[in-house]
Structure 1
Amino acid sequence: MSSELFDSYESEYSALAAAIRQRLDTTLPELVGVERKSALHETERELTEVHELVEQMGMELLTLQGPMRSRAAPRVRQYKAEVERLKREVRKAAQGMGNYESNRRALLGNTAGAGRLASHDLSAEESSLDGDHRTRLLSGNERLMNGSQRLQESHRVAMETEAVGASILNDLRSQREQIVNTRDTLMQADAHIDRSQRTLRTMTRRLLTNKMITTGLIVIGASLVLLILYIKLTR
């Protein structure tokens, strides 16, 4: 989602920056008077939007991961530098406009016609400035609301991730306890098996001993019987 939003800001920035560049290079040099003022105001408004877009891209850059952030960071720095160049060019164009107005008023003098023209231009300029100011305020407010919503969404995702992590830790802890219990049970079973083996070996030795004793007694008894028979037969 953050990558798509970054790409959207980048596309909007590219379009506005291209429009500003075209106006500075081709349109403004051919305009004079009120038309030039209006074009300058429009350029300044778009330049403000471009600056805000770059700031938004900078915020979105913080949410990108690994390689995506590495690829996007140089572009954001380049856009910031380009915005500064555009600002300087717009200020230069505005200064040129101021010099033009000063020269025009000097040529026209203080005639009534010049006064009415200046008053008309001033009113038009103030009206344009008010409209541009309202537009910038509305645009800035909308961007702030969007940024706040994204922050809230990021906070919600972080809380959900934390909850999932806590659940996983609990599961791992439970599994560890089960493994420890199983290991203890196996150790106890192994101890029982060892005792059983020792008991079986002891019983086996006793059986062998008893068998040997029994065999010895049988041999002795048979020998005595044979001896008695021999004695009786030899008399």
Structure 2
Amino acid sequence: MSEVFEGYEHQYCDLSANLSRKCGSASLLSDQDQKQQEVAEIKAGLDDAEALIRKMDLEARSLQAGVKATLLAKLREYNSDLNKLKTEFTRLTSPDADHAREDLLEAGMADAHLASADQSERLTKSIERIDESSDQIRESQKVMLETVGVSILDDLHQQRETLLNSHQKKQLMEEKTNQVVLLGIWPSGACARVALALKLKGILYKYVEEDLTNKSELLLKNNPIHKKVPVLLHNDKAIAESLVILEYIEETWSHTPNILPCDPYQRAKVRFWVNYFDQKIRPAINLVFISKAEERKKAIENLNEMIKDFYEGVKKDFGEEFPYCKGKCLGLLDIVVGTNAGNYKVINDALGMEVIHTHINSQFLSWMDALREHPLVKDTLPPHDKFVAKFRGKFGPIN
């Protein structure tokens, strides 16, 4: 799901609950000045709620079909909720003719013992005029609603036709000039990081699973130097190497969410730690797998020291902005580290031991656990059991 949509959604839910409470409390106020102030605040809140729904609608329509359908269904519920709030607001601000009539009757009964016959007659006529006015108001409202309803239906029909035509044109343009293809293999963390960045940006793409024991002509043609995955194809242009691809995605689709900071110095620090992870920690993880039993203990100790230095350095450089937690947008560092070390439980189960030690790197592991809970990360990382079986099949029995 879109983080932008979720942000608007949380704002709307909080605002809706607040407006509902205010409508309830305002109806009990006897002080007219206080009531008018409360009514003004409710009116402003309804405008804000309507603006949030428009933003959610625009965001939902920019996403992939499956996600869009789910979000639009939510929007229909929020629109219904907003209409109920508007009805409650209208009831709060509009005098009720029936209540006025009852007040008038009560006043007449209270004065009946003192009023003359002439006064009683005038009172009766006043009530009749109120009834006639109420009937006229209701009839006018009915005519107005029917007229507005027909106009709205016509407008909606025209808007639907316009949107359908625009959508069809957009699809044709994307098919012709904006094709995005990712060549990869499912166990690869490098391929997963590219897929995650594309999903985060909301970019539609086609995934092609490669067989590295029998490399396709498409792969050999588009990465003739390394002959490895991942490879991104965009408008028939090939980009190889995962970090290069991630930078290309950020620069080509520069809309939010951004995976790199705007500030050049902050970007440089992110790139430094991304390179440190790829050049130091990833090889250290691989060394744990290929080491003999007597060498593995030392390899695990070295890995934990590297991860500790890495985490402390990143924490020092980015402070409160780090690490990722629920509600924040994923950055380049989250994408790179999360699609590799985020599988630490797979490594533990494949080897039958704790590789990244909790007593040394508990904060790093908490970061990984938070990343794994992100919906897009969950959707991108391979299933746990399938991944464990793959490791055991590749490296054989590990003692």
TM-score range, shorter chain: 0.3 to 0.5
Structure with more of its chain in helix, by fraction: 1
Q: Normalized against structure 1, the TM-score is what?
A: 0.41
